[in-house]
Amino acid sequence: MTANLSNSERLHQLYDPNFVLRVETLNNGAPVQVCLESRMLHDATGTGVATYARVLATCLADAGAEPLILDDGRGGAGLRRSRLARWVAAARTSARPVVAYQPLDERSPAQWMARDVFREAQVFFNLHGRMLPIAFDRPPEVMHWTYPAPLYVVGAKNLYTVHDLIPLTHPELTTIPRSRHAAILGRIACHAHRIVTVSETVRALVIQHLGVPGKRVVNTLQAIETPLQADPPLPDALRSGRYFFFCGRVERRKNLDRVVQALIASKSSLPLVIVGPEVEGEQKLEAHLRTSPQIMRFPWVPRPELVGMMRRARALLFPSLAEGFGLPIAEAMTLGCPVLTSDRGASAEIAAEAALLVDPLDIDAIAHAIAELDRNDALCARLRTAGFARGRQFTPSVYARRLRALYAGALAEDEKSAQ
């Protein structure tokens, strides 16, 4: 259905929170069965992809879907395989069957288990160069893979969320092998009933680099969860409004080396608080960050503390070199934290006119922007107001309407082709 919209209508749908896409009633009004894989739901690292999966799962019911879960059993006793056993299992070319099991919490979605299937799929792709098939006795109507996994469910509409194409477009900024990732995405492009993106930037790149017809690539953006709370106390060395903030994986594409240089050049006395996990291969960057007395480094803080720290920061400094969405940008705006980010790509798209945009390669430009944020209260107030308004594009209720249109459009297209 989204394929039949004009470009102006599609953009209106994406960026106007009051716009409701009218879709046909499917299944005589019954919920659409949408299955998610559990790997990202179980990821406790707090990465953007894990957050995406968790929020997607919470929005399914409001999107008119019946949520189902495909699990690999990794939490169960005796279900782990050795590496050798995984390679032996992956040599089989037949579809992997799944079995239903009752979750411990009766309020949880119905679940199916295919033992070790997420890890085995990677080995299967290495051996055979193709996707590992999964077989249900009664397949769900939609299998929504929340990241590009080399798996597909036989008899279901397989949708894959592609968060970014950084390994293809900026291979120097990631440790993900470019050729293998490109090969997986190429196979996904052949199997996918829809490819889902979280920005128009990535949608255009998928069409360009993977050769997928535009009607099969749908941008839903994503939702932001920033619940109201009594914010926990700040660390002793911090005062509300008197520090800059960054959160996310501490890796080269986040441009933190230039941010530190720009902070020093700005003559600001405010510290920069960096919250995010250490990344393998980025030891040199970590060492550089720890040499600056203005840097306060936290590998991890609980979610309530993270929200509180972001809400009370002077500004978020996020001039990233490459993003698929830029989750901290949307979170900060929703919380009323002024944002400094890149003037290109998905970062600029998500921020729109509600942030201070800079050339991420220009240290002087970043330094000037930091100085303005430090000293210009009127600028921060304007960005805070604009951020609140922009944040309404990313509420769970708006996102649920986009999901409803995504699933209805995917199923309605097949109904029409069958007539």
The percent of the chain in helix, strand and coil, each rounded to the nearest 5, is 45, 15, 40
**pLDDT of 18:** 43
pLDDT single digits (tens) 72-107: 987 554 456 788 999 999 999 999 999 988 766 666
How far is 206 from 165, CA to CA, in rounded Å?
8
Rounded to the nearest angstrom, the gap between the alpha carbon of residue 292 and the centroid of all alpha carbons in its chain is 30
Q: Which two tokens stand for residue 339?
A: 């944002």
* Domain ranges within the chain, ordered by starting residue: 2-223+395-418, 244-393
Please state which of the ranges 23-27, 139-143, 335-339 shows the lowest mean pLDDT: 23-27
How far is 370 from 213, CA to CA, in rounded Å?
42
Q: What is the DSSP letter of 215?
A: G
Per cent of the chain over pLDDT 70 is 88
Q: Are 299 and 320 in contact (CB under 8 A)?
A: no
Tell me: pLDDT of 267 over 70: yes
Question: Which residue type, as a one-letter code, is found at position 20?
Answer: V
Tell me: pLDDT of 344 over 80: yes
Q: What would the mean pLDDT of 147-162 be, rounded to a whole number?
A: 97
**pLDDT of 13:** 52
**pLDDT of 265:** 98
Pairing of β 272-275 and β 244-247 = parallel
Output the average pLDDT for the chain.
90
In terms of Cα–Cα distance, which of 32, 57, 4 is closest to 156?
32
Please state which of the ranges 77-81, 84-88, 208-212, 336-340 shows the lowest mean pLDDT: 77-81
- Which comes out higher in pLDDT, residue 374 or 22? 374
How far is 169 from 383, CA to CA, in rounded Å?
31
Tell which CATH architecture fits domain 244-393: 3-Layer(aba) Sandwich (3.40)
Q: What would the mean pLDDT of 317-329 be, rounded to a whole number?
A: 98
Q: Do domains 2-223+395-418 and 244-393 have the same CATH topology?
A: yes
**pLDDT of 83:** 87
Tell me: pLDDT of 413 over 60: yes
Q: Are 173 and 252 in contact (CB under 8 A)?
A: yes
Q: What would the mean pLDDT of 316-340 be, rounded to a whole number?
A: 98
Confidence of residue 147 (pLDDT cuts 50, 70, 90): very high
Q: Which residues pair with 263 in a beta bridge?
A: none
**pLDDT of 42:** 80
> What CATH number was assigned to the domain covering residues 2-223+395-418?
3.40.50.2000
pLDDT single digits (tens) 8-27: 344 445 554 444 444 444 45
How far is 194 from 215, CA to CA, in rounded Å?
8
Q: What is the DSSP letter of 237?
A: T
pLDDT single digits (tens) 228-237: 899 999 999 9
- Which comes out higher in pLDDT, residue 20 or 178? 178
Q: Which two tokens stand for residue 220?
A: 């839903």
Half-sphere exposure of 192 toward its Cβ, with a 13 Å CA cutoff?
A: 31
Reported as type and span, the H/E element at residue 405 is helix 396-418
Please state which of the ranges 16-30, 191-205, 367-381, 404-418 shows the lowest mean pLDDT: 16-30
Confidence of residue 4 (pLDDT cuts 50, 70, 90): very low
**pLDDT of 246:** 98
**pLDDT of 108:** 74
Q: Which two tokens stand for residue 142?
A: 């939609």
**pLDDT of 82:** 86
How far is 283 from 288, CA to CA, in rounded Å?
9
Q: How many Å is the maximal CA-CA distance in the chain?
A: 68
**pLDDT of 5:** 47
Question: Which residue type, as a one-letter code, is found at position 126?
Answer: N
In terms of Cα–Cα distance, which of 313, 269, 312, 264 is closest to 289?
264
Q: What would the mean pLDDT of 58-74 be, rounded to a whole number?
A: 92
Render 149-180 in DSSP notation, one character per residue: -SEEETTSEEEEE----HHHH-GGG--S-HHH
**Nearest 5°: phi and psi at 32?**
-80, 130
**pLDDT of 104:** 65
- Which comes out higher in pLDDT, residue 308 or 21? 308
